[in-house]
Copies of this chain bind each other. A is one copy, B any other.
Amino acid sequence: MVPAGTNAPRLIGQPVARLEDPPLLRGEGCFAGDVSFPHQLHMRVVRAQVAHGRILSIDTQPARARPGVVAVWTAADVAEVPPIPFRATKVQGLEAYCQPVLARGVVRYVGEPLAVVFANDAYAAEDVADLVVPEIEERPALLDAGEPPREFEPGRDTEPTVIRKGYGDVAAAFAAAAHVIELDLSVGRHSGVPLECRGAVARYDASRDVLEMYGAAKKSHWNRDEMARMLGRSPSTFHLYEGHVGGGFGVRGELYPEDVLVCVAALRLRRPVKWIEDRRENLVATNHSRQQRHRIAAAVDAEGRILGIRDQFFHDQGAYVRTHGARVADMAAGLLLGPYRVPAYEVAGHFRLTNKTPAATYRSPGRYETTFVRERLMDAVAQKVGIDAVEVRRRNLVASAEMPYARPLDALGTDVVLDSGDYAGLLGKALSRAGWDDRKAEVARRRASGEIVGLGLGMFVEKSGLGPSDGVRLTVDPSGCIELVTGAGSVGQGMETALAQICGEALGVDYRRIRVVRGRTDQIEFGNGAHASRVTVMSGSATQIAARAVREKALAAAAEMLQADPADLDLVDGRVVRRGGGARASVGLDEVARHLHPSSRYIGRRPPGLSAEGWFYSDHMNYPYGVHIAQVRLDPGTGMVHVERYLVAYDVGRAVNPMLIDGQIVGGLAQGLGGALYEQFTYDAQGQPLATTFADYLMVTAREMPDTVDVLITEDAPSPLNPLGLKGAGEGGTNAAGAAVAAAVDDALGRPGFVTALPVSPARIVAALATARTGAAS
């Protein structure tokens, strides 16, 4: 907050226009595909066409003989490059499952990189890649993570670890229960599918011994550090550049084999190397996500109050452990309980490998899945004890008086302490905003007239603001331009605008005067990219700290210049002004910066410059929370689910820019609905992927979006963990979409518990409706 008594502009909370948009709207965006260097090579990946097998040989000779081909590599050519590591996690035993940059000895999924071709143009590279024909001894594909563990490879089985968490006396809870409700629920395999496929361009500058990679996203510093280690370089000699990013969603910007390969090639071949993923590759090579099967049981008392929850789930990791390690399973286990008071809990997450594309995080990872599971469970409890969906939740929600609410669980290595919240309050606001009772009446009316319509709701707790730290550097240049350098990533979420608003408010300047420099590891020593809905919380808090430090420096220097007491000065509209005026009433920030220039005659022996770093630390995550309410209509002929109305109510602690949050929520909802109704990476019995084009992998388009999406952003429960009360807001639109749609479909069909798997199957709906008609007719 700005010190009292100032008339600095109030920027935080305003739906100001995005700083990011002008170049994008003018067609001046720079995506990975837009980066080129003279004399560059093009890399094409030769991918496995069988799901599982032993590599007997790979004949690269025909490809190498082609004109314009500079090199063809298989695993033997990159034998010194270690497999891709994963981020620190407490789970042991995963290292042996990491992916080599090119398949070594065995292939484990269709799409796995077997070889790479480097040619003078992209067309030649693609054509020549077809000439690289591996000889592979096929083995049966292991495709069901729910099957008992078996040998995956000699000495390694399909279950490297089981994640176990829990607290309380679960057995006693179940023994004492009035009712025990058991469910078997599945979430399908789908993922973030950005508009921009992946891409990477590497260039080695021998004159400076600097390696550069363009096309980074999400975790540039981490990827840089890890690749530096893999390549035996110092991180200082290796820089990653993130340009514009055509969608992140958790999948884009992880460290993939192709990133490493372009870097190795640039170093070894001494030419820039460019690789751009095509869509088919994207759908088999970029991280999948979500696929889990949960066998969950609740023990409840006669009034539907939860006494204990027991869950056993099977996480389908696909063929390798990628950069996230077991984080999705860890979060599923640690965050399953959501907003409810659960006295005893026990979970065993079976982390299983299969012969499919490796999986990792996707928007609301571990929460989308468990919210579906938990909310299905709550609906089943309601049904069992004969109360409605709202009442069962009211009876079980953690109360605001209990906040902060510590659960004896951990997630992402932090203790789970729900920092603040009024869950029941938000439920009430959501029901009121949605006109729940009117909606119920409308649904009943329309049902009576033959329409198949239903209402459903889901509640959830998100998590955000993962620590431990973030920093920014703020500099006012002699022209008065304010540069904010951050190691956070800009993947479309609007972070440049949000940070500029926070900075502008603290400095008393128009946010459009702030230039956010990001996505360049050579510009700031440390950074955390964009993940875990942490940027606004962590980098935003660091920004406020840095801006206040700059503010203090500016006031102190201006005090010299104006011969005033700093306490009598304020920063307004980019100028330091003397309250009440005077001889010389103000100086511009540009003048202050020049006063502090190292060649200024006023500089004395001070460290020069009008700049400061700000660092913010946090030991705990914070927990925004929300409610989804869906109204659906089913088509009896096709079984398709049409979402008519949708409400997302979301408490974000403090909304820096409501317009950005609204955009995040609506976009996130599209993805949540995709997973609920349309998107699925299906495989045949041999492990051949069946969804490798947009004709088969069904993205939500404008047509599939609800007729009406209402977004209610509340700020009832600011986080006590940072000065601005911020909580992240990027995943709340996705989180409960599966849960709310499933409940609405149940309601439309009049069959509680009908939906047990996502995406909802039109064929099952058609069959159910046919049965219902037959039953009605009989």
Which of A's residues lie within 8 Å of B, judged by CB? 23, 26, 28-30, 34, 36-38, 205-209, 225, 228-229, 233-237, 243-244, 468-471, 475, 477-481, 483, 515, 522-523, 525-526, 597-599, 601, 603-605, 607-609, 611, 613, 615, 617
What separation, in Å, do the CA atoms of A23 and B477 have in the docked complex? Answer: 34
Interface pair B607/A615, CB less than 8 Å apart: yes
How close is A443's CB to chain B, nearest CB, in angstroms? 49
Q: Are B599 and A617 in contact (CB under 8 A)?
A: no
**A235 with B477, Cβ < 8 A, contacts A207-B23, A208-B30, A526-B597 known:** yes
CA distance A525 to B523 in the complex (A): 11
- A601 to B, closest residue via Cβ: B468
B598 engages A469 (CB within 8 Å): yes
Chain B residues, CB < 8 A from A475: 236, 525
19 example contacts (A-B, Cβ-Cβ < 8 A) are as follows: A23-B209, A26-B206, A207-B244, A209-B515, A229-B479, A234-B479, A234-B480, A234-B481, A235-B479, A236-B475, A236-B515, A468-B598, A468-B601, A469-B603, A471-B607, A475-B525, A526-B599, A526-B609, A608-B615
Name the residue on B nearest A475 (C-beta). Answer: B525
User: A526 with B598: in contact, given A477-B236, A483-B236, A607-B615 (CB under 8 Å)?
Assistant: yes
Question: In the docked arrangement, what's the CA distance between A523 and B471, Å?
Answer: 17
Cα separation A225 to B605 with both chains bound (whole Å): 23
Complex alpha-carbon distance, A28 and B207, angstroms: 5
Q: Contact between A478 and B515 (Cβ–Cβ < 8 Å)? A: no
- Bound CA–CA A423/B229 (angstroms): 55
Chain B residues with CB under 8 Å of A209's CB are 23, 515
A30 nearest CB neighbor, chain B only: B207
Q: Which residue of B lies closest to A229 (CB)?
A: B479
Q: Establish whether residues A523 and B526, one from each chain, have CB atoms under 8 Å apart when the complex forms.
A: no
Give A237 to B481 CA distance when docked, in angstroms: 9
Rounded to whole Å, the gap between the CB of A596 and the closest CB of chain B is 10
Q: Pick from A208, A481, A483, A601 the residue with the most CB of B within 10 Å.
A: A208
> Contact: A468 with B243, CB < 8 Å?
no
The 3 A-B pairs of least Cβ separation, nearest first, read A234-B481, A30-B207, A28-B206
Cα separation A597 to B526 with both chains bound (whole Å): 8
Bound state CA distance, A615 and B600, in angstroms?
Answer: 14
Query: Smallest CB–CB gap between A207 and chain B, Å?
Result: 3
What B residues does A526 contact at CB under 8 A?
A: 597-599, 608-609
User: Chain B residues near A480 (CB, 8 Å)?
Assistant: 234
Within the complex, what minimum Cβ distance (angstroms) separates A289 from chain B?
A: 25
| Chain B residues whose C-beta falls within 8 Å of the C-beta of A38 in the assembled complex | 36-38
A236 and B30: CB pair below 8 A?
Answer: no
Residues on B with beta carbons closer than 8 Å to the beta carbon of A615 = 598, 605, 607-608
In the complex, what's the smallest C-beta–C-beta distance from A82 to chain B, in angstroms?
15
- List of B residues within 8 angstroms of A605 by Cβ: 615, 617
Q: How far is the CA of A23 from the CA of B475 in the complex (A)?
A: 34
Closest-CB distance, A749 to chain B (whole angstroms): 49
Q: Whole-angstrom distance between the alpha carbons of A209 and B24 in the complex?
A: 12
- B contact residues around A598 at 8 Å (CB): 468-471, 526, 615
Residues of B within 8 A of A477 (CB): 234-236, 525
Tell me, in angstroms, the Cα distance from A561 to B633 when the chains sit together: 64
Known interface pairs A28-B206, A30-B205, A607-B615; A481-B36 also in contact (CB < 8 Å): no
Residues of B near A471 (CB, < 8 A) are 598, 607-608
Q: Which of B205, B244, B479, B599 contacts A469 (CB 8 A)?
A: B599
> Which of B233, B234, B478, B522 has a CB less than 8 Å from the CB of A523?
B522
- B contact residues around A481 at 8 Å (CB): 234-237
Set B207, B225, B522, B525: member contacting A609, Cβ < 8 A: B525
Q: Report whether A468 and B234 are in contact in the complex, using a CB–CB cutoff of 8 Å.
A: no
Task: Determine how close the nearest CB of chain B comes to the CB of A96; give it in whole angstroms.
Answer: 25
Instruction: Give complex CA distance A311, B234 in Å.
Output: 58
- Contacting residues, chain B, for A599 (C-beta < 8 A): 468-469, 526
Q: In the complex, A34 Cα to B209 Cα: how many Å? A: 16
| Max chain B Cβ within 10 angstroms of own Cβ: one of A470, A598, A617 | A598
Residue of B at shortest CB range from A36? Answer: B38
Q: Which residue of B lies closest to A480 (CB)?
A: B234
How near does chain B come to A335, taking the closest CB pair, in angstroms? 22
- A37 and B272 alpha carbons, distance in the complex (Å): 12
Distance (Å) between the CB of A393 and the closest chain B CB? 37
Residue of B nearest to A23 (CB): B207
State in angstroms the CA–CA spacing of A475 and B208 once bound together. Answer: 17
From the candidates B470, B478, B603, B611, name the one contacting A225 in the complex (CB within 8 A).
B478
Closest partner residue, chain B, to A207 (CB atom): B30
Distance of A396 Cα from B604 Cα, bound (Å): 38
Q: Closest B residue to A235 by CB, please name it.
A: B477
| A29 CA to B475 CA, complexed, in Å | 33
- Complex CA gap A481/B229 in Å reads 13
CB distance from A243 to the nearest CB of B (A): 6
Which residue of the partner chain B has the closest CB to A29? Answer: B207
The answer to whether A206 and B23 touch across the interface, beta carbons within 8 angstroms, is yes
**Residues of B contacting A235 with CB < 8 Å?**
477-479, 481
Residues in B with CB closer than 8 Å to A208 are: 23, 30
Report how far A229 CA is from B480 CA in the complex, Å: 12
CB distance from A547 to the nearest CB of B (A): 16
